Structure 1
């Protein structure tokens, strides 16, 4: 029987689909598509702008065609005339040319040295795709790689807990590790330059908070995002200096956020603020 996916991890295909939709609006080309890589085989599942069903569900093996080439090399590649290109094999000419595609660029989504997905942009006319399209595809690949990498790390930590934490005394250990994961996600989200990626990372962190604390008390005081970030780090035992380093803030700024949170929570110490925030479900 297959092992079910981790409870907290959404489908990577959903993130891929979101990037395809986003690219369809900004890449400036008629056709965008892609798929995930499993066991060195790329399966095309997400599409925007296609007219036929020839590419849907197509399995592309490593080093075959344009997609298989980028899976193997882990580098972007492009052809300006697919049917006559000498740099690729022609195993998939039927569905590609049947869709009328000529100029195609493919970008691998590389996580920890492995291709995990491939994004494509294509036109039905001659001539190479422009730099704007290629840049948009590369940026989308980086966003998707970051998101998948974060999900992998969360899964790794949860698996490690499953293997090492003794039962039934493991609940506290699991909770502390999940709190650490949640705090790290908030720190990584804050450092992310891409707004879309920052929002997705924060969403995962909030899901962890709800899983551990059941969500905030409706009567709880409203803390600013930065105040919650600081409290989440303090809850791990970090000093103000360590919090400042993790969140890329000045030490005095950290003190200011902490004082503000303590005032809102009617707490007289950092430890009381953490305890109150946890009791109210503001932090896990």
Structure 2
């Protein structure tokens, strides 16, 4: 467990605090929400509910009000859940058991990815008022900013930990991290260049930088990694998460995972950290 894991407050506490604020100020009878985990929305926080029918409910993307908000990254609402034709009705049993009719789902989006959904709901049919919806959207924006800040703190903590245990000989840790950041940026720029010759020259430049910073005695048999696999490893070496790598390289998180798995296989590595270390040993990364 890294120090970032120890220091990071629970995101569920921040979610709960925003829901309480919305419930207090808006006066809405039911306010609830949940975080996105492993590609699905898990409902965990409830205010004003009378049953436990929705507790722990796993909502798939595009399903129901929350799933639609999660997938579209836009607020989604129905004036009468029972009669709504704009959503799927996968969760009619728990929602109607609770007696909910009007529902608004507000996604919490961080760097282009839905991380949570806030709901305000009523047991009466009819549109949710603008004031309540605006309060929920403001809460969603505040939570988005808070999670983004926490993510950045985590990333910087990982960078500090990496700098504290340098794996190269020669430049001091600070200079080494700066050169690694330049290496990763050059590879990222190469991907955005339309001219194939220029793109190849930029990648060659990044390869030269990697070899320049490598330890002596590079093994004779060097695994052959695809350019995109190296692009992903270069960002991971900076302490980026898969979502951060996806944002920097304009890829989908699932695509990042695929490149990372392929690189780990070629490097005979069992973890992302081991893959970075082995890539450096082979002179593929600085």
Q: Same fold (TM over 0.5)?
A: yes
Could you list the per-position Cα deviations for residues 74-129 of structure 1 after superposition, in whole angstroms to 9, with x for gaps in the alignment?
A: 00010001011111110000000110000000000000000000000000011101
Q: Does residue 1:74 correspond to 2:73, yes or no?
A: yes
Secondary structure in structure 1 of the residue aligned to 2:59: strand
| Inter-partner Cα distance in structure 1 for 2:11 and 2:143 | 9
Query: Are the counterparts in 2 of residues 41 and 60 from structure 1 also a CA contact under 8 Å?
Result: yes
1:158 equivalent in structure 2: 157
Structure 1: gaps spanning 5 or more residues: 174-284
Query: Are the counterparts in 1 of residues 163 and 173 from structure 2 also a CA contact under 8 Å?
Result: no
Q: Where in structure 2 are the equivalents of 1:179-198 lying within 5 Å?
A: none
Query: Are the counterparts in 2 of residues 40 and 71 from structure 1 also a CA contact under 8 Å?
Result: no
1:122/1:41 CA distance change after superposition, 3 Å = same
Secondary structure in structure 2 of the residue aligned to 1:52: coil
| Inter-partner Cα distance in structure 2 for 1:45 and 1:136 | 20
With structure 2 as the length reference, what TM-score do the two structures score? 0.57
CA drift at 1:3: 7.2
| Inter-partner Cα distance in structure 1 for 2:86 and 2:145 | 29
Secondary structure in structure 1 of the residue aligned to 2:28: coil
Query: Are the counterparts in 2 of residues 45 and 57 from structure 1 also a CA contact under 8 Å?
Result: yes
1:8/1:172 CA distance change after superposition, 3 Å = farther
CA drift at 1:162: 2.3
1:67/1:57 CA distance change after superposition, 3 Å = same
CA drift at 1:161: 2.2
| Inter-partner Cα distance in structure 2 for 1:83 and 1:129 | 15
Q: Where in structure 2 are the equivalents of 1:1-284 lying within 5 Å?
A: 6-166=5-165
| Inter-partner Cα distance in structure 2 for 1:31 and 1:107 | 14
Secondary structure in structure 2 of the residue aligned to 1:6: helix
With structure 1 as the length reference, what TM-score do the two structures score? 0.57
Q: Which runs of 4+ in 1 moved over 2 A?
A: 2-5, 161-168, 170-173
CA drift at 1:167: 5.6
Secondary structure in structure 1 of the residue aligned to 2:24: helix
Secondary structure in structure 2 of the residue aligned to 1:20: helix
| Inter-partner Cα distance in structure 2 for 1:3 and 1:167 | 16
Could you list the per-position Cα deviations for residues 210-230 of structure 1 after superposition, in whole angstroms to 9, with x for gaps in the alignment?
A: xxxxxxxxxxxxxxxxxxxxx
Could you list the per-position Cα deviations for residues 22-81 of structure 1 after superposition, in whole angstroms to 9, with x for gaps in the alignment?
A: 111011210000000012200100010000000111110111111111110000010001
Query: Are the counterparts in 1 of residues 120 and 132 from structure 2 also a CA contact under 8 Å?
Result: yes
Query: Over aligned residues, Cα RMSD in angstroms?
Result: 2.3
| Inter-partner Cα distance in structure 1 for 2:125 and 2:65 | 17
Secondary structure in structure 1 of the residue aligned to 2:6: coil
1:67/1:4 CA distance change after superposition, 3 Å = farther
Query: Are the counterparts in 1 of residues 77 and 104 from structure 2 also a CA contact under 8 Å?
Result: yes
Secondary structure in structure 1 of the residue aligned to 2:7: coil
| Inter-partner Cα distance in structure 1 for 2:6 and 2:112 | 26
Structure 2: gaps spanning 5 or more residues: 176-286
